[in-house]
Structure 1
């Protein structure tokens, strides 16, 4: 297992198979979400218990957010929007468990942004028709076609790099902080045990992992809904 800078480590699997740390953490996150979804949806009752109330509250919040942002006619997007938001939230919070967030890898954020990009154009064409949709690239007049086209191409780039930059930036800052606190401990009290790294980084984790992580997952999801609904209008 090796490390290059702040990039994801390469994990060696049996039979010489190599995967990145991003892939393995993503597998664990997917397995955890699937397990929780299965546990939350089993044995549903007409009179809900505490577990069912929590699940129904989450589903209702996702449905309301989708309805307010995309309109009632686009409620079919709620399952995807909910899945995207939950995955991003858990992935961004992985740092609290000592794991490398999958969203600190540009491959993850770019893949999600490309899904949004494909949804924008696929549902835009489906809603307006090919002719009317392509006509929008030449509005308000045909000389703006290059700018409109460039704006569409820039969408997945801006989406992916916004999320990636915020998450990997926090990861780098926390890594430098832990290294500095370990060095201070050795210099001040001549111990190789990083005592100062216990408790001190908690405030920074609250911002970079908890606050920023949840905020970025919300922003990415909201932009996805806005872009898709605008393409269909």
Structure 2
């Protein structure tokens, strides 16, 4: 979507009509940062950790404990995915602090992540319970609820994606409107530099980009763990 508050098209792949938007390029930037950090943080691991290695080990240990506490010790193998998901979402949601459009302000990104969760729910439910028991679950607590149970399952990726997308794009819209209003106000009172835009938005950035961004990353990862765990139990 071009214009308005949608992601702009940065370029078109040569020889095709395939557009590459801000969402894709900013995701590439975040991926490059995380890959570079992973390489630098793990290339010189020592038997006695110090410095950056201490932070990395603390982070990994925390993710594994968090996953085990939420999903159970028997599902701790999900920790690498949950950790990757949470770290990516935190970086993506905080991108606005660096004047980069958050990839999660694009419904394509949030729906893609929600669909991964959706397929994980049903794949691991079938793997753990078997096809027969899995299908029988749609008839609980009684067969008349079959349609409602199916609709409820299909609503999961929709609710997951729109919750994250709505919170991030809502903050983006509010901040854009605020900057626009402050720019007009600065011009109307004859300020030579847009000083109002430099000072006033700072507290709102702390809320919309830092607090809400980190909180929504946590909520998305937590709901993913809860949904998958419930489906498997």
TM-score range, shorter chain: over 0.9
Q: Could you state the TM-score of these two structures normalised by the residue count of structure 2?
A: 0.96
Match of 2:104 in 1: 103
Q: Using the alignment, how far apart are the partners of 1:107 and 1:178 within structure 2?
A: 26
Cα distance change on mapping 1:232 and 1:38 into 2, 3 Å? same
1:14, distance to aligned residue in structure 2 (A): 6.9
2:165 paired with 1:197: no
Alpha carbons 1:21, 1:100 under 8 Å: kept: yes
Alignment of 1:22-171 (within 5 A): 22-171=23-172
CA-based RMSD of the aligned residues comes to: 1.3
Gaps of 5+ in 1: none
SS of 1:15's partner is coil
1:147, distance to aligned residue in structure 2 (A): 0.9
Alpha carbons 1:182, 1:193 under 8 Å: kept: no
Q: Using the alignment, how far apart are the partners of 1:58 and 1:218 within structure 2?
A: 14
Alpha carbons 1:182, 1:192 under 8 Å: kept: no
Q: Using the alignment, how far apart are the partners of 2:151 and 2:166 within structure 1?
A: 21
Q: Using the alignment, how far apart are the partners of 1:192 and 1:138 within structure 2?
A: 68
2:223 paired with 1:231: no
SS of 2:152's partner is helix
- Over residues 50-80 of structure 1, what are the superposed CA-to-partner deviations in whole Å (9 max), with x where a residue is unaligned? 1110000100110011000000110110000
Q: Using the alignment, how far apart are the partners of 1:114 and 1:14 within structure 2?
A: 26
SS of 2:4's partner is coil
Q: Could you state the TM-score of these two structures normalised by the residue count of structure 1?
A: 0.96
Q: Using the alignment, how far apart are the partners of 2:144 and 2:52 within structure 1?
A: 57
- Over residues 108-161 of structure 1, what are the superposed CA-to-partner deviations in whole Å (9 max), with x where a residue is unaligned? 000000000000000000000000011000001000111111100000000000
1:226, distance to aligned residue in structure 2 (A): 0.2
1:218, distance to aligned residue in structure 2 (A): 0.2
Gaps of 5+ in 2: none
